[in-house]
Amino acid sequence: ESVLGAGGFGMTYLAHDTHLDNKVAIKEYLPIELAVRASNGNIVPVSTGAEYNYKWGLDRFLQEARLLAKLRHPNIVTVNRYFEANGTAYMVMNYESGASMSQMLKRAPTPDEALLTSILLPLLDGLHAVHIAGFLHRDIKPSNLFIRDSGVPVLLDFGSARLAMG
> Residue 24: CB partners within 8 Å, gap ≥ 6?
14, 15, 16, 17, 80, 92, 93, 94, 95
Measured from the Cβ of residue 160, the count of other Cβ atoms closer than 10 Å reads 24
Contact of 71 with 127, CB cutoff 8 Å: no
Catalytic residue among 17, 59, 125, 139: 139
DSSP 8-state assignment for residue 76: B
Q: Is residue 139 among the annotated active site residues? A: yes
- How far is 164 from 112, CA to CA, in rounded Å? 37
Query: Which residues are catalytically annotated?
Result: 139
